[in-house]
Amino acid sequence: MAMDEVINIWKEADAVCFDVDSTVIQEEGIDELAKFCGKGTEVQAMTRNAMGGSMGFREALTARLNIIRPTMTQVRDFIRTRPPRLTPGIKKLVECLHQRSIPVYLVSGGFRGLIGPIAIELNIPLQNIHANKLKFYFNGEYAGFDENEPTSRNGGKGEVIGLLKKEHGYSKIVLIGDGATDLEACPPADAFIGYGGNVIREEVKNRSKWYVTDFQELIDILL
């Protein structure tokens, strides 16, 4: 597939999926939560390995969460006091898609609880979030994560896209993201657009047929 094919699919997309961390928002949610819980440095190094693809996704997720072990109270306080910073242009891009009646999904290896406020800010229905769920014991202590969520394992984003196609009959799903887990979800995504406005991952940049660093480029083509 050449770049102009990706551009044509983008113009005709019947659904668009966005990765969240370092794409829709400027930071990596799990790194920010780790910093908030005083475990920032240890977790950041592990995130780099996971994003670079040198470690299985679930393995990296388990290891990072075992370091952080966030309590329910910590997660609530984090959401309240550290609102995520939206990437410049994302709000306008999502509005543009909504005006064309194109459904938008957030597909993330991050956590549903942290992504909810982002979806609300972008007017994306909460049922359009596909992400991981943290689990807590009745006393609020960390109890792991829901391993049944496709996004908790390698290839999970592709699995979600496959399910969306089956459920809604989409024939042109575009996925936009910055990481290796996004790149590997195409196919079943019909086109992948690499995004490097917050962080440039060389492997993703080199393997993307269309790579943008500013969402305005995507808006201009739609308009």
User: To which H or E segment does residue 77 belong?
Assistant: helix 72-81
Give CA–CA dist 184/15, Å, rounded.
18
Q: Are strands 15-18 and 104-111 parallel, antiparallel or unpaired?
A: parallel
> One-letter amino acid identity for 34?
A
| DSSP strands (E only) in 112-169 | 129-132, 134-136, 142-145
Q: What angle do CA 41, 45, 48 make, to 5 degrees?
A: 140
User: Catalytic positions, please?
Assistant: 19, 21
Parallel, antiparallel, or unpaired for β 134-136 and 142-145? antiparallel
- Residue 9's Cβ-side half-sphere holds a number of Cα atoms within 13 Å equal to 22
- Produce one character per residue of 21-46: b if its CB has 16 or more CB atoms within 10 Å, e if not: bbbbbbbbbbbbbbbbbebeeebeeb
Amino acid at 85: R
Nearest by Cα to 100 from 177, 10, 192: 10
Report how many helices (DSSP H) and strands (DSSP E) the chain contains, helices first. 11, 8
Here the tokens at position 222 are 């739609």
